[in-house]
Structure 1
Amino acid sequence: MNFLKKKKILLVVTGGIASYKSLDLIRRLQDNDVIIECILTKNAEKFVNVLSFESLLGKKTHSNLFSLDQENNMNHIKLANTCDAVLIAPCTANFLSKMVNGSADDLATNVLLASNKEKIIAPAMNTLMWSNKIVKKNIRDLKKLGTHILSPQAGKLACGSKGSGKLMEVAEIINKLNFIFAPKILNGLKAIVTAGPSLEKIDPVRFISNFSTGHQGYEIANSLANFGAKTILISGPTNIEAAKNVELINVHSGKEFLKKSLENLPCDIFISVAAISDWCTKKISKEKIKKKIKKDFQFILNDDVLKNISFHKKKPRLVIGFSAETHNLLKNTKRKLEDKGCDWILANQVAENNAFSSDTNKIFFFNKKKIDEWPKMKKKMVALKLTKKIVSFFKNNKLLKYEKNLL
């Protein structure tokens, strides 16, 4: 679904080794029917040929704050106010610092100060610079101001070192922009999503857990929030950052997952994506258990979050579960759908596609009437497909405030 069509994006290219990738970004934006204006900073012009940008755009780029020709046609105030969003890609550490400090020493920084539109940055820099505490603080400060951060990826950098710092892949930038511009169809609805693994303590230093990364749950929470739902994400330990428009609650054990889920009822949508352990120890040792001590562990069934929510007096309008199966997927999921009392279950065969660590998922969609097999796709696209089904559910039940048919 292309939500970028006819959007006006002001692209700011700053001076770094990744500046040339902005040419590909312009092509992809044009493919999505985006109207583009482009500012090149003076440092960017040292890395790329201005003529290449102007040839691709079919128009002049902007760089000089005091250019009379450009001032007459489109000054920094007009540039700031005639776009739907400002995208800085790549964004250097230096430009990050300027943004945080409110500098206004060139055209790009003046435009940013004058603009009240969405601001999106795609940082790119050396790994050591990206991990620098000052840079991290600047990123946190920009997030607090509502800036969308398209975090760099890991890989081999131009300097020869390996690590995080590469400009996000252009295709992924387009996907992120698409989510940012998604219509707020779910406005007025509240969603709770659980994600990540549970961590069940045995003693002060040991625990039972699983391989869940939380990736799928975070993508679903992000998608719901981008479509306008007030979204609460209850997450076990992960290495993923929640989006700025998602309320994050960190938990560890299954009991904590259930407690926080119940505390945040009522809601309209509940999606249990978290891989919560079926078992926990009956008693947690207060001291580290020594290996010389012969000890049998007594396990008890953990709290069933999905079932508790499904049979609660404040049951949400739509309750969705996830099921990771290693065998007999159809049989086990049908039984689970009935036992848990939820409306839908999305099941996957974890042994076949290594679903926990993979960036993709192969889903079987179950409700009380049918089973649909979805093609293998990226977890982000699973989230989008599920969101579209949720929108259809609420639309068919006349529970949406948003009238336009944009999906």
Structure 2
Amino acid sequence: MRIKILSTILISIPLLAACDIGRELAKTAIDVVKNPQTETGKQVMGSYSSKLKNLEFTCVKEQFPSLPQEADQLYRYALYHDFKNRWLPKPGVLDRYLPYYRIAAANGHWQANLTLQEILLKSKDINLETRERRGEGIYWNEKLMKILPASAHYWWSLYIDVGYGPKHGPDDSFIYLRKAADLGNAKAQYEVGELLLKIKDEMVRPTVLKIVDKMRVCSLNQTYPDGMAARMMAADARNEENFQQSLVFSHQALKAGESSSGLTLSRAFYTENSKSKHKNWGIPTDLERSKRYRIIRDFLWKNAHLKPELNVHDLDEIVPLPPAKLPSWDGKIAIQRFVEGPAPAKPSDELVRKLAQQAGLDPKTGLPK
């Protein structure tokens, strides 16, 4: 495993056309790991610092285009009923709403595209073993490449992992993952960082740790942050007794839907346990902030079936970090209002036909004619 990881992470691909060059570097890395005492091994290890350039990372934020309003009507209608079916899925129900997801995705709605790909890859309510289903995920990711390339590269890495799409080399999944990270995808940035941590060589360990921190910080500061990246940075700051920084990172983790961080934040602002480790944080008691964090955490914990869409992107509007004052709040987060609210109006047949025709799709199935 160590050899395979090294053969991947030593490659920073500025362009996918550079894959052949990347594989040459990968082969060199494998040779060195296998034969460090050979002349080639000594020569390469002697210039190991130059190879570290391939690990360098510059933070880029993924840019999310605005969602088309008409397509959003189809997406919200489908998502609402999809959510209602996720707790105890009934066979066949999801198929009723796939055409709406498909037509919205084909009209540039990147959220619909991402949700659709999640469904096609993971839902037990859909037969994924047929060639048609496998090809469909690839079809939508090709559409996504045009509007959200960082996320599309992340999905290419997933598809290669599970064997969908055309044949690829053994390391191509990691190559796409690193490209996704370089383009700004939060999940990819966190996952590449985790791979880098598997490098144990003491000679490069300090450099690796700095790069991992850069990736995690970049990931947790994205428009749609990665919850695990923020959680890990919060834990590191806590271990270093930098409690104020841990508070900030925990807040970002909760924003991404990471429920355990809500409990941490609640206890940081108030806990009845006099022996709690949170007493050492030195955070002034704030009963209302503690209460709000706990309410949010409870909703996330009880509604984990709403992932991956489950998030608290409106967190700063509900419980901003001190010294900001708390605004009034009705006790619900945005996604909760959507889930518990009335069903969105069913899109008219005319709108469905119009959007399907624009994209060259069958309005009944949402699939290409």
TM-score, with normalisation over the residues of structure 2? Answer: 0.28
| Greater Rg by CA | 1
Which structure is higher in helix share? 2
Which structure is higher in strand share? 1
